[in-house]
Every structure is written in C-alpha cells, then in structure tokens.
C-alpha cells in the first residue's frame, strides 16, 4: 500500500512542477505582450501583425492551465493527507437516502397528528 501512496505523491509533485512551469511561462509571455517587448524576431514576425494577439491568448491559456494544475495538486495532496474527503457516488446516494428517510418520518408524524386532531 505504501508503494501506491508514494507513486501518487510523485505524480502530484510532477503535476505541481508542470503547473508551476506553465504558470511561469504564461506570466512571462503576458509581460512580453503587455510591455510590447516583441522585437523583430523571425519566429514572431512569421505571424505578422497577429503576433501580439496570438502571444496574448496563448499566455492567458497558459496562466489558466498552470493555475488549474497547481490547484489540483494542492487539493489532491490534502485529500491524500486526510484533510479533505472526496465525495463518491455511493456517499452522495447514502446522504440522499438519509435525508429522504428523515423527510418521510416527518411527513408521517405530521399526518398522524392531523388524523388525531380530526378525530
């Protein structure tokens, strides 16, 4: 069991490092676009006048994707440490059944008191 847990922790570390790298690249690209630091580099000039828009959109996507990866790693690390509980389909069904049984017992008790008042 410990081997499997160690494998999950390694997976989370890789996910966090990948997310942090993606977030950093996205922020650097956003800085380049915001401060118009795009010189006439051959790779960027191949897009012509659209190079700022393509770089801006790709940096926005990289920032969002990197933040999502970092968030996933933090939340899953908390789940593995036992700080949070993951809801499964079975636990949701059991909670719904418990609420429904409480509702039924209340409705039966209310209908029983109404019958007693009428007689």
| Total of domains in the chain | 2
Euclidean distance between CA atoms 56 and 60, whole angstroms: 6
- Rounded average pLDDT over 2-18: 73
The reply to whether 91 and 80 lie within a common domain is no
How is 57-100 classified by DSSP, letter by letter? HHHHHHHHHHHHHHHHHHHHHHHHHTSS----HHHHHHHHHHHH
The reply to whether 72 and 108 lie within a common domain is no
Residue numbers of the domain that contains 108: 87-119
- Residue 106: predicted pLDDT: 83
The reply to whether 80 and 110 lie within a common domain is no
- Residue 105: predicted pLDDT: 85
Q: Are 38 and 52 in contact (CB under 8 A)?
A: yes
The reply to whether 26 and 58 lie within a common domain is yes
Which pLDDT tens digit goes with each residue over 28-76?
A: 888 888 887 655 554 555 667 777 788 888 899 999 999 999 988 888 8
Angle between helix 2-34 and 51-81 (nearest 10): 150
The reply to whether 29 and 63 lie within a common domain is yes
Residue with the bigger pLDDT between 84 and 42: it is 84
């Amino acid at each position: 069991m410990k081997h499997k847990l160690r494998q999950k922790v390694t997976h989370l570390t890789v996910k966090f490092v990948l997310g942090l790298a993606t977030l950093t690249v996205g922020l650097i690209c956003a800085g380049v676009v915001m401060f118009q630091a795009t010189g006439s580099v051959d790779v960027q000039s191949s897009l012509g006048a659209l190079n700022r828009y393509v770089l801006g959109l790709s940096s926005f996507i990289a920032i969002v994707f990197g933040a999502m990866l970092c968030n996933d790693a933090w939340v899953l690390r908390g789940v593995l440490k036992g700080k949070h509980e993951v809801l499964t389909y079975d636990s949701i069904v059991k909670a719904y059944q418990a609420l429904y049984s409480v509702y039924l017992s209340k409705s039966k008790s209310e209908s029983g008191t109404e019958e007693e008042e009428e007689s």
